[in-house]
Amino acid sequence: MDLSGKVAVVTGAGRGLGRAYAEALAAAGAAVVVNDVDAVAAAQVVETVVAEGGRAVAAVGAVGGAEVAQRLVDTAVKEFGRLDVLVTNAGILRDRVLWKMSDEDFDAVVEVHLRGTFTCARAAAVRMREQGEGGRLILISSPAGQRGNFGQTNYAAAKAGIVAMARTWALELARANVTVNAVVPVAATEMTKTIPAFAPVLEEAERTGRPLPEWLRKDEGLGTVEDVAGLIVYLASDASAGVTGQAVGVGGDRLALWSHPAEKAVAYADGGWSADAIAASWHEGVGAEPETYGIPAPKGA
């Protein structure tokens, strides 16, 4: 993929997946605005990109509010003359079960993930429409947002909302030739290293330098952060011009298209449904095959 001439903003790009996205976009030829709340981490990414012949600048700030979002767009335009790609990766965790989650825990996660995605995408969309040459919004979601996950009320809600926004914005920005897609990544990060079933395997691979086992890369779709970056580059490229409104999963050796919510089973009753009628028919009718929920336990554990 050749992204020469394109300019990208990547939020939360100081480490982990965000760093992999920024470096992959730069390696493909894009100029990159590296955003992170950690100034040192952002500067290190810029230094690496420049040392390898790429173009990048740092833009420090916590996403959420409109001011930081606009500053990221303005930085791209000031430094590189335009904006073509936005990757909304920034995020934090405040995991607690429902009855122990505080208002502050909930609000902090929603502020960065959901509101940060909204404000950054809004600022980018305004600029892309002004340019009149299309663009790419790549919104980072999570399996937790697709299926739910224990202890992650705030995170799962925000990540589900991000996919809903992607579908909505794909409709709204179609005439401007701006595609909008959600990416559902799975990779070995500091977060996944805390999962008991994965931790020993990831630690051994890190210590020995050996590849991750096949069951992890294929069955769980869990690999390195670099395994995810190829999808970001593809969605940023001209080759993905016809792809929009989708939720695409990637990790390890797996690439997947997530389905959109749809009615699975339908039944009709003349005059409508009473509570008693629903109770009498539920288990043999629309509720005969209930949906699963929650991220499945690892198969190789």
Q: Which are the catalytic amino acids?
A: 155
Contact residues for 46 (Cβ-Cβ < 8 A; gap 6+): 34, 56, 57, 58
- Would you state the structure tokens that stand for residue 287, as one six-digit string? 């509720």
Q: Which helix (H) or strand (E) holds 39?
A: helix 39-51
Cα 283 to Cα 20, 276, 280, 289, 292: the distances in Å are 47, 13, 8, 8, 15
- Residue 44, Cα to own-chain centre: how many angstroms? 23
CA–CA dist 237, 232 (Å, integer):
9
Contact residues for 167 (Cβ-Cβ < 8 A; gap 6+): 245, 260
Distance separating the N- and C-terminal Cα atoms of the chain: 37
- Helix, coil or strand: residue 189: coil
Q: Got the DSSP string for 73-120?
A: HHHHHHHHS---EEEE-------B-GGG--HHHHHHHHIIIIIHHHHH
